[in-house]
């Protein structure tokens, strides 16, 4: 069964953002420019954090609005980006109800989670997990 | 994005520009190494710390955004508290935000005529009107408002001042991400003097690495040390507040303005007790898996309204537990939390506030000051209500006495008497370690007069265990070596809590990842040079090691290493400064 990245318990999130750094490090980069996962406070850190990840929709709204067919359905849900087809229009970002498509300002293309689970290795608090 | 880009912002002219400064970053890495050079360039001799010519420098380092725990931002300025070198470090998301916005350092010049806050989003700098935010009593509210106004959630830092900064209390802090601070030496007052209410910084530039495989290997080595070894356990579990009980046991916990060295009921304000009864949430700085930030939950009923409660999250750490707890005899954890909350709301440095109030309480007890000066507030050990009221008066300064307290303990005691029990070094209120001579040598010789400069307390603690006797020269040598090395750590803006992980060997590896081939020896040399640069500035601004004041009180109270001897400490100070020449 194909796996997908899931959020188990945001209450355990300490907001360290190591998952975000890990995601960009897949490409051998520092920083967040290529990150497809996002952690932000929910109105101040004292209230805890929102962990925003692609939920691998079986019928992804982002795919439906892509005008160049750069997004195709991934086995197990979610989408695969064909970067060479993408014109950077940003419609996918607007279509995702979770705000789980992020933007690489340098490449002017979306950052889309491939559910590889690299970030999971760096979450010391068990907030995220790859699940079938 | 290159690290050597420096953003210059001029508040008087409302203008900004960027300069590449490879000269600074190649020689001094980043952080303090770069900041002290920028401060020397920007700050004219004898500048009024609260005048428009006093610059504010922020800097980050080459490992920020790449490696865990390179998460501090260095602030440098001339301190309104000491009238000399101002250096303060803060975590939160400050460092990653500055680096991802595309800068290695930010220089703020001039002064605004009307209240402003700065919004720095990548290459764009906005001077936003802050007239409406000026005078908002509660520093939490300011953060809340700016969170809604500005973009970049998750990628940004929001630095802001409270009322104490606006009123230029000499030890006002700058609050970041609600619970971290540029706490010491009065950066908040410098913000206030420039009518600068806040700075929000965001961005998401990338940092490219050539040898990706090597990068990931070194990263994993550090990550594993951080989460699997015992090196970070203390900070991870109970946090710095785990120091309360051992220091109390050792009779090294300054209490009641150091009239005592331990506290009955210390366990009430211990990290263990706070964790068990009040710990509500743990949070981390950006890129730190340790999550040492401990927030207590305080649930208070409204007296006039049944079934209504107010729930507040309040941070706790060792130093505030000492300064607002043991020093003031506040041992009821709820009362301590309320006092801490007031300090946070006003935006003050907790250590300076507590030590200043402790002096005031003793001065009141001795009749040096009376209710005429305190405006009717009865300062009494353990009475947190009076202390909270006094804190508000320190901020608003309704009379000469509170204006004096707002300038720190050294100033107040010089004016009213009682210098013998005014606990400050180099003009900075002392941290919570009556461990022995090495601690006081750190407070005296450290370039910030902070326990973190060279951690003399840990030498004392070791000597108390082993019974080793060291000469002043031996101690001075260890402190000099330690403070020099810490210049490298803070030029790479590594959190000092991670100093056990970032050994010279690991540091050399991380620098190789970014294409910098160096050796431990060469780094140590740079560290010494940076420390010398800091002292060049201090001496230029009038610092005189032989005139350092040693408060009599510390010589009267037995430490774990016995009664301290003034000539021993003076000799250590002179040995330290010989090494600087």
The pLDDT tens digits of the residues spanning A21-69 come to: 999 999 999 999 999 999 999 988 888 999 999 999 999 999 999 999 9
Distance from the Cα of A53 to chain B's closest Cα (Å) equals: 14
Residue A1 has pLDDT above 80, yes or no: no
The alpha carbon of residue B189 and the mean position of all alpha carbons in its chain are separated, in whole angstroms, by 14
What CATH number does residue A97 fall under? 3.30.70.20
Would you tell me how many other CB atoms lie within 10 Å of the CB of residue B294? 25
Classify residue B230: in a domain, yes or no.
no
Q: Indicate left, alpha or beta for B69 from its phi (over 0: left) and psi (-120 to 50: alpha).
A: left
Interface test with B, best of A46, A104, A121 (most B CBs within 10 A): A46
What CATH number does residue B522 fall under? 1.10.599.10
Instruction: Give the CA distances from residue B211 to residues B208, B214, B216, B512, in Å, rounded to whole numbers and listed in that order.
Output: 10, 6, 9, 10
Classify residue B105: in a domain, yes or no.
yes
| pLDDT tens digits along B85-119 | 999 999 999 999 999 999 999 999 999 999 999 99
Higher pLDDT, B229 or B373: B373
Position B104 scores a pLDDT of: 98
Kindly state the DSSP code that residue B551 receives in the 8-state scheme.
-
Q: Please say whether the beta carbons of B349 and B184 come within 8 A.
A: yes
Percent of chain B with pLDDT over 70: 100
Give the helix ranges, DSSP H, for B229-382: 233-236, 244-249, 271-277, 318-323, 333-346, 350-365, 371-374
Partner-chain residue, chosen from A33, A44, A45, that has the shortest CB–CB distance to B205:
A33
Instruction: Give the CA distances from residue B452 to residues B157, B366, B439, B489, B537, in Å, rounded to whole numbers and listed in that order.
Output: 24, 33, 10, 12, 20
Classify residue B548: in a domain, yes or no.
yes
Low-confidence winner among A114-128, B20-34, B229-243, B354-368 (lowest mean pLDDT)? B229-243
Confidence at B80, pLDDT banded by 50, 70, 90 = very high
Q: Is A48 on the interface with B (CB under 8 A)?
A: yes
Domain count, chain A: 1
User: What is the residue range of B111's domain?
Assistant: 5-202
User: What is the residue range of A60's domain?
Assistant: 4-131
Q: Is A118 on the interface with B (CB under 8 A)?
A: no
* B188 and B262 in a common domain: no
Average pLDDT (B410-418) is: 98
Average pLDDT (B160-189) is: 97
* B153 and B81 in a common domain: yes
Position A132 scores a pLDDT of: 85
Cβ contact B205–A17 (<8 Å): no
What's the rounded Cα separation, in Å, for the pair B578 and B581?
5
Residue B252 has pLDDT above 90, yes or no: yes
Q: Give percent helix, percent strand, percent coil of chain A, each to the nearest 5.
A: 20, 25, 55
Position A44 scores a pLDDT of: 85
Would you tell me how many other CB atoms lie within 10 Å of the CB of residue B570? 17
Cβ contact B287–A46 (<8 Å): no
**With contacts defined as CB-CB under 8 Å, which chain B residues touch A25?**
215-216, 219
- Burial of residue A84 (CB within 10 Å: 0-12, 13-18, 19+) is exposed
* B345 and B437 in a common domain: no
Partner-chain residue, chosen from A18, A28, A45, that has the shortest CB–CB distance to B283:
A45
Average pLDDT (B502-521) is: 97
Mean pLDDT of chain B, nearest integer: 97
ipTM associated with this complex:
0.96
Nearest 10 degrees: CA dihedral of A116, A122, A128, A129? 50
Partner-chain residue, chosen from A32, A40, A122, that has the shortest CB–CB distance to B204:
A32
Cβ contact B227–A124 (<8 Å): yes
Distance from the Cα of B203 to chain A's closest Cα (Å) equals: 9
* B9 and B41 in a common domain: yes
Average pLDDT (B300-320) is: 95
Classify residue B423: in a domain, yes or no.
no
Classify residue B207: in a domain, yes or no.
no
Q: Is A7 on the interface with B (CB under 8 A)?
A: no
For chain B positions 380-399, those within 8 Å of chain A (CB to CB) are none
What CATH number does residue B269 fall under? 1.10.569.10
Instruction: Give the CA distances from residue B579 to residues B360, B460, B571, in Å, rounded to whole numbers and listed in that order.
Output: 37, 21, 13
CA triple B494-B495-B498, angle to 5 deg: 95
What is the distance between the terminal CA atoms of chain B, rounded to a whole angstrom? 38
Q: Please say whether the beta carbons of B189 and A86 come within 8 A.
A: no
Q: Is B237 on the interface with A (CB under 8 A)?
A: no
**Which residues, listed in sequence order, are joined to residue A130 by a DSSP beta bridge?**
A5
Classify residue B454: in a domain, yes or no.
yes
Distance from the Cα of A101 to chain B's closest Cα (Å) equals: 15
Cβ contact B206–A28 (<8 Å): no
Average pLDDT (B439-447) is: 98
Q: Is A21 on the interface with B (CB under 8 A)?
A: yes
Classify residue B212: in a domain, yes or no.
no
Confidence at B16, pLDDT banded by 50, 70, 90 = very high
Domain count, chain B: 3
Residue B248 has pLDDT above 80, yes or no: yes
Position A127 scores a pLDDT of: 98
Q: What is the H or E stretch that residue B376 is in?
A: none
What's the rounded Cα separation, in Å, for the pair A128 and A8?
6
Residue B206 has pLDDT above 80, yes or no: yes
Confidence at B451, pLDDT banded by 50, 70, 90 = very high
Residue B161 has pLDDT above 80, yes or no: yes
Position A2 scores a pLDDT of: 87
């Amino acid at each position: 069964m194909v796996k997908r990245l899931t959020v188990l318990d945001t209450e355990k999130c300490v907001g360290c953002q190591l998952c975000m750094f890990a995601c960009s490090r897949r490409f051998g980069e520092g920083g967040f420019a290529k990150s497809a996962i996002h952690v932000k406070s929910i109105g101040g850190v004292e209230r805890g954090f929102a962990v925003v990840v692609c939920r691998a929709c079986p019928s992804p709204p982002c795919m439906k609005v892509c005008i160049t067919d750069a997004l195709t359905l991934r086995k197990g849900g979610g989408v695969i980006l064909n970067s060479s087809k993408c014109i950077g229009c940003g419609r996918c970002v607007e279509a995702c109800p979770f705000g789980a498509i992020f933007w690489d300002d340098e490449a002017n293309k979306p950052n889309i989670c491939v559910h590889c689970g690299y970030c999971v290795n760096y979450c010391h608090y068990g907030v995220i997990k790859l699940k079938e | 994005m290159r690290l050597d880009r420096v953003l210059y912002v001029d508040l008087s002219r409302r203008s900004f520009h960027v300069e590449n400064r490879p000269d600074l970053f190649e020689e001094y890495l980043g952080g303090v190494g770069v900041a002290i050079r920028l401060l020397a360039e920007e700050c004219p001799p004898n500048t009024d710390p609260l005048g428009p010519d006093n610059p504010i420098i922020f800097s980050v380092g080459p490992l920020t955004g790449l490696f865990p725990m390179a998460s501090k931002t260095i602030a440098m300025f001339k301190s309104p508290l000491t009238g000399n070198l101002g250096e303060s470090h803060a975590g939160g998301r400050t460092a990653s935000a500055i680096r991802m916005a595309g800068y290695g350092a930010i220089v703020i010049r001039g002064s605004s005529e009307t209240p402003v806050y700065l919004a720095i989003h990548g290459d764009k700098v906005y001077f936003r009107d802050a007239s409406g935010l000026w005078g908002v009593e509660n520093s939490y509210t300011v953060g809340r408002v700016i969170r809604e106004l500005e973009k970049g959630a998750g990628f940004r830092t929001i630095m802001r001042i409270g009322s104490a900064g606006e009123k230029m209390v000499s030890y006002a802090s700058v609050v970041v991400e609600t619970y971290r601070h540029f706490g010491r030496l009065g950066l908040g007052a410098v913000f206030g003097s420039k009518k600068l209410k806040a700075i929000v910084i965001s961005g998401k530039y990338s940092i490219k690495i050539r040898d990706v495989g090597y990068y990931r290997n070194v990263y994993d080595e550090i990550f594993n040390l951080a989460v699997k070894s015992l090196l970070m356990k203390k900070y991870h579990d109970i946090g710095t507040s785990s120091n309360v009980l051992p220091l109390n046991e050792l009779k090294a916990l300054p209490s009641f303005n150091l009239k005592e060295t331990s506290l009955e009921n210390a366990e009430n304000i211990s990290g263990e007790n706070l964790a068990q009864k009040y710990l509500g949430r743990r949070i981390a700085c950006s890129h730190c898996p340790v999550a040492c930030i401990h927030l207590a939950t305080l649930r208070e009923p409204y007296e006039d309204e049944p079934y209504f409660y107010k729930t507040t999250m309040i941070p706790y750490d060792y130093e505030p537990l000492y300064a607002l707890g043991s020093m003031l005899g506040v041992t009821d954890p709820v009362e301590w939390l309320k006092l801490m909350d007031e300090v946070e709301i006003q935006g003050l440095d907790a250590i300076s506030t507590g030590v200043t109030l402790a002096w005031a309480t003793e001065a009141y007890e001795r009749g040096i000051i009376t209710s005429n000066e305190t405006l009717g507030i009865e300062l009494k050990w353990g009475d947190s209500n009076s202390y909270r009221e006094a804190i508000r008066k320190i901020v608003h300064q309704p009379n000469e006495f509170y204006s004096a307290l707002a300038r720190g303990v050294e100033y107040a005691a010089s004016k009213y008497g009682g210098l013998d029990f005014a606990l400050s070094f180099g003009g900075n209120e002392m941290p919570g370690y009556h461990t022995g001579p090495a601690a006081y040598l750190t407070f005296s010789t450290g370039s910030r007069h902070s326990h973190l400069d060279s951690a003399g307390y840990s030498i004392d603690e070791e000597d108390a265990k082993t019974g080793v006797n060291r000469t002043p020269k031996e101690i001075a040598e260890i402190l000099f070596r330690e403070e020099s090395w810490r210049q490298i750590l803070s030029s790479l803006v590594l959190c000092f809590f991670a100093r056990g992980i970032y050994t010279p060997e690991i540091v050399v590896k991380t620098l190789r990842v970014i294409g910098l081939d160096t050796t431990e020896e060469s780094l140590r040399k740079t560290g010494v040079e940076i420390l010398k640069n800091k002292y060049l500035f201090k001496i230029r601004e009038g610092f005189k090691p032989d005139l350092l004041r040693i408060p009599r009180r510390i010589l009267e109270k037995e430490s774990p290493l016995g009664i301290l001897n003034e000539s021993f400490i003076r000799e250590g100070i002179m040995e330290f400064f010989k090494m600087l020449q």
